[in-house]
Amino acid sequence: MIKIERILVPIDFSEHSYDALSYAAELAKLFQAEIRLFHAIDDAIFLVGASPYATLAAASHESLLEDSREALTRCQQARVPEGVKSSWDVAFGAPAEEIVRAAQVFDCQLIVISTHGHTGLAHVLLGSVAERVVRKSACPVLVVKRPVSAFMAS
């Protein structure tokens, strides 16, 4: 029998990620699992090194962290259904790597992630966070593509 106790849901504050959260919440109800909301702040934006901008980068770092914490708290309160246990975490780093790391650290049995469905040259050049998570994750990954209404029962 499949046993799912913890589900990691990466949140980038887009409607796509909220759709993935809705899907994860339904699974959490079925399995009586906990949802772990997770946001990764890409630390590539702070690669300024030792420069006159280092103080600005540190202030921006703290500001982004606080904004992310507040946004995750609002997301948790507004979008996680009553009766579903949930928590959240935020980290700095490359999103795909941080998502995979978080799933391991929090001992998650499933990752439910959204995708924007990049195609063509953008996909070749940028790749997809969801695709990298699927390749690197030790646990199963459910990739939710918009719209999810066709899969969600009323």
CATH 3.40.50.620, applies to 6-145 = yes
Count of residues making up the chain: 154
Cis peptide before 52 (omega within 30 of 0): no
Distance CA 129, CA 118 (A): 10
How do residues 32-88 score in pLDDT, each as one tens digit? 999 999 999 987 765 555 445 445 455 587 888 999 999 999 999 999 999 999 999
Measured CA to CA in angstroms, residue 39 lies from 10, 53, 55, 151 at distances of: 6, 25, 24, 25
The pTM is what?
Answer: 0.85
Return the pLDDT at 148: 64
| Closest CA relative to residue 12, chosen from 3, 2, 21 | 21
